[in-house]
Each structure stands twice: as C-alpha cells, then as structure tokens.
Structure 1
Amino acid sequence: MSTEQPQSGDPTGMAGPVTDDARLFPPLQGRAVPVAQDRWERLVSAVDIPQPPEAVWAALTDPGRVAHWFGVCRGNWARADCEVMLDFEDGEFFWCRIQQNSAPTADHPGRLRYLWRWVGIGPVTSVTWTVAASEGGTSVTVVEEAVNPPSDWRSWNGMGWPGILDQLAAHLRTGTTWRWPWRRMGPYLQVPLPAPPFQAWEALTAPGAVRHWLQPCAGSLAVDDEMTVVMGDASGCALLKVTRLVDSGQEFPSYLPYLEFELRRPRWPAPLAGRIWIEPVGLHESLLQVFQSGWEGVGIPAAVVERRILTGYWTSAAARAQMLLRPPGAQAPPIGPHGWSLSGGDDG
C-alpha cells in the first residue's frame, strides 16, 4: 500500500506537473522588450581663412583672443586634462574638459579637442577643431559629436557651426572685439533624467515634486493659476503662469507632454514666454528642457542682469529635478534649508 500523501489542498496530487507545464505555455501577450534606443549625430563645419595656421591657432587657443569672438575663458583654456568655463557673460556657459591640444606644424595639422556640457549640467558632447595649412591660408574644421542629443540639436547649433566660424574669421580679419549682439532667446536648459519621459513627467508635475524643484511659495501648475517662485537669495520672486498644458498622449505627432508659460518679475512691464518639455534619450532615460524667449519685448534696461538671475534659477531647478529621480541608493548631495542653492554646476 502506497504511503505517498497528496499535497495539502490538492486531493489529486497533480499541482506540481501543471505548474511545471504552465511555465512552458506562457500567456498570449507580447514578450519583446527594447534593448537600445540610441541616436548618434555629427555636425561638421569648415571655413577657409586667409591667415597662416599659426595666427589662426593663436586666436583659437589664447584665452584673451577667444574672449573676443567666442566666450570668456575662466580657467585653463586649451590645456590638456584641465577644466574651464567658456562664459557668455549672460548666465549661460559651456563647462569644458580639454582632452587634446597639439599645435600645427609643417607636417601635421593642429588639433584642439574637448568635451563640454551646456551650463555644466547638459548632456556631454565632443568637439574637435582641426587647423591645417591650405592654399592661400588655413582650413579650419569643427566636428561636434553627440549620443542621444535633443531632437532639435542640429537646429540649435545652426546646422553646424557656421556662425562661430565666421566670428573667428571676422576677428582675424578685422580685430573685432565683440562676439554677437544681445540674444532675444534664452536661457535654455537641458538636464538628463534617469527615467523614461512619461514616468519622469508624471513624477515632476506631481504637486509635492513641484514644490521641491520649482520652489513655489504660492500657486500651482494649473492653467491660468499664477505661481510665485523664489529666484534665490536677495533676488526676489517671479510669477509663473501656465498658459497651455498638454499631457502625455494628447498631441500628435510625438504624444509627449509639455507646458507653455509666461514668466514675469514685479519690475518688468511685460512677461517672457517659456516652455518646459521632455523627450526620450536612449533607453529608460529622458531629457528635461526649459526655454525662454521674448527679451526684446520685456522693456527693462538691465536685461542681462535679469537673464543671469533666471539662468541661475533654472539651472538649480533642473538639478533638483534630476535629484528627485535619482535611483534608490544613489548618493545624493546634502540638502539644506535653502533649496535654491542646489546647483548642477558652477554658474559663475
């Protein structure tokens, strides 16, 4: 007589084989998963300059000369393994790490290569300048390469670098000491987030998250509700009013969420326009972006000072947004009572 007993709750004793078979007969549903979603982009621009390579190289690598046609260098510009700020003096800057500096010779072109991040917290891209002798002067080529940049990365760079190369050529030809006229757009911020776009948007627009990363002392992100946000120590507040809010899955063609807003300071006679949006970059990551425009219509005499304040505010806000989505267990910076002081990079 058998002494084997059926399992508890199963008078037939057949639960084991059925369970084993079920693993070989999965439900009729999708099992495929994405494993990569990468984009690689390269911009190549070139100009011929009727100057010898040594003169062009000096204008490219001498910090005092670079300040006349590109940006003010704060740190060790063009020195390998050094970091430096390329400052536009309106709050926005590139944070650079120099990788290579080899001057042109009779046999080899000069090459300056570095990595940089916009406002110190944006996605990293690689920039390579090549300075080579050509018939009648010097050929200058700039190559910028990026992995998973913003979807409009090319247009933000002018489909390359023609404007910046023309500024270099004009400086060498005329000795001009100005870079470009006052910009009506900006600040523009980009910050990578360690979460897919829809998940990141839901997390950042939740009322509790808004209170942390945007630092409001009144109001909300509801349409037409005016939110008072703290700019920072001794710099006062701004009034942010959402004029349009498009949630996930609502608008063709991307179905990605965004909001448009007006930003006004008490001393301004008119507001700035603004936009906050998010898009996918790579697998399980996204890019939060903030953009403002309309400085020509604000009508204030010290616009560059106000622009620096806004850039500092949005840079710190973007760093706080990034921190909110930090994976569990990741090391986080200490947070004090003044949340606006948290910054993703040196803002000058």
Structure 2
Amino acid sequence: MTAAPGPAGEVRRGPDGRSRLVFRRVFPDPIDEVWSAVTDPARCARWFGTWTGDARLGGTVALSLTSDEDSGGPPADTLITECDPPHRLAVQVTEGGDSAWELSVSLHPTGTGTVLTFEQVLPGTFSPADAGPGWHWYLDRLSAVLSGGPMPDWEATLAATAQHYPR
C-alpha cells in the first residue's frame, strides 16, 4: 500500500526575480524530531540521501541522493550556506559542471507539531516539471520515516503529481 502524495508545490517569484518551487508540509512531530530526520546522517539516509563531510555553516559535504532503484547517485559537493538549528538549513548542491541547486528547509513549531517549508530556487534551464514530482516523492518519504509508514512508490508519485507541473 502506498500513501497518497502530499500537497503540491507552488511556483513563486522570489525577491531576486528567480522562480522558486516551494512545498509546505505539516507533521505531528515536534520540531527537534523533524530537524533530526533532516540533518542526522543515519536518519537522512533513510529518506533523502547519504552525506559525509564537514557539516557546519560554510562546510562542504558529499551528498548522494537516494533513488528508488539503488542506494544513491554519485556524490555532489554540497555547501552549507545557512544553519540555524532547529529552524533553518540552506545548501548549494553542485553536480559536475551544472549550476548549483539552491535548497532550503525551514521548520516552525505549530501546536505540538512542525511546519516544514522546503524550497528550491529553480535554475534558469529548469521547469517546475523537472523537479516537482521528485520533491513530492522525497517529502513523502520523509513523512513515511517520521510516521513509520510505508515508503511511497516513485511511479505512483510521478503519475499522481506530474499534472501539477506542466512544462
């Protein structure tokens, strides 16, 4: 059984004029629990990817994203540009000669739970269709790790979310 995908991301224009793909998820878990799932290497490996290196503000880690078929892709240099535990983490991921992916996670307490806002600044050559379904899948995987539920199926996630992101 596969959990239904979470809410669709929105495309927003940032103050710098660049497009951003933004997701908002609400978890019943306390902020420290969600922060740990996002930043602890062993927990992060269960839903997003593995990383090793200098995990501090200004440090660089080697990040390998998890995929449905294998244990991860080739490592990408990832610079930590903001780190304010347990509220905000921002990174720049550089793969080969491509431009950097700017990603951020912001956490805010709400009642006994946590609001997570995930954002990717879209590189100039990217359409939201290039990234939206994948971020759905990863955030649904985070939800599964936090809840102890089943991991989402990639093909089902793609089929359920692709229409939200026309090219």
TM-score for the superposition, normalised by structure 1:
0.35
- Within 5 Å, which residues of 2 pair with 1:105-254? 110-117=87-94, 119-150=95-126, 153-158=127-132, 161-174=135-148
Matches within 5 A, 1:95-114: 95-104=77-86, 110-114=87-91
Q: For residues 41 and 66 of structure 1, do their structure 2 counterparts lie closer, same or farther at Cα, with a shift above 3 Å needed? A: same
Select 2:40's aligned residue among 56, 62, 69: 62
AA aligned to 2:82 is: Q
Deviation at 1:137, TM superposition (A): 0.8
Structure 2 counterpart of 1:124, one-letter code: A
Q: How many Å separate the matches in 2 of 1:64 and 1:90?
A: 14
Q: CA deviation at 1:175?
A: 7.3
Q: Which residue number in structure 1 is paired with residue 53 of structure 2?
A: 75
CA contact 1:154–1:160 (8 Å) conserved in 2: no
Number of aligned residues:
134
Output the CA distance in 2 between the equivalents of 1:179 and 1:98: 28
Deviations 1:239-279 (A, max 9, x none): xxxxxxxxxxxxxxxxxxxxxxxxxxxxxxxxxxxxxxxxx
CA contact (8 A) 2:137 2:152 kept: no
Quote the Cα distance in structure 2 between the aligned partners of 1:85 and 1:103: 20
Give the structure 2 partner of residue 84 of structure 1: 61
Asked if the contact 1:70/1:179 (under 8 Å) is kept, the reply is no
Could you say what secondary structure the match of 1:171 adopts?
Answer: helix
Which 5+ residue runs of structure 1 have no aligned equivalent?
A: 1-38, 105-109, 183-348
Task: Verify the 8 A CA contact 2:137 2:154 in the aligned structure 1.
Answer: no
SS at 1:158 equivalent: helix
- Distance between the aligned counterparts of 2:24 and 2:109, measured in 1? 13
Q: Deviations over 1:82-136 (max 9, x none)?
A: 11122134444443100111113xxxxx00011112x333211311100110134
Structure showing greater radius of gyration is 1
Distance 2:59 2:153 in 1: 27
Query: Counterpart of 1:280?
Result: none
Between the aligned partners of 2:124 and 2:76, the Cα distance in structure 1 is 18
1:215-237 per-residue CA deviation (whole Å, 9 max, x = no partner) reads xxxxxxxxxxxxxxxxxxxxxxx
The alignment-based identity, stated in percent, is 28
Amino acid in structure 1 at the alignment position of 2:141 = Q
User: Is the contact made by 1:127 and 1:142 (CA closer than 8 Å) also made in structure 2?
Assistant: yes
Q: Distance in 2 between matches of 1:63 and 1:175?
A: 20
RMSD of the TM alignment (CA)? Answer: 2.6
8 A contact 1:93–1:120 mirrored in 2 = no
Deviation at 1:154, TM superposition (A): 1.1
AA at the equivalent of 2:144: A
Contact 1:52 1:133 in 2 (8 A): yes
- Structure-1 separation of matches of 2:134 and 2:110: 21
Judged with a 3 Å threshold, the aligned counterparts in structure 2 of structure 1 residues 160 and 43 are, in CA distance, closer, same or farther, namely farther
**Structure 1 residue 58: deviation in Å?**
0.7
Deviations 1:2-50 (A, max 9, x none): xxxxxxxxxxxxxxxxxxxxxxxxxxxxxxxxxxxxx822110011111
Supply the AA of the counterpart residue of 1:98.
I
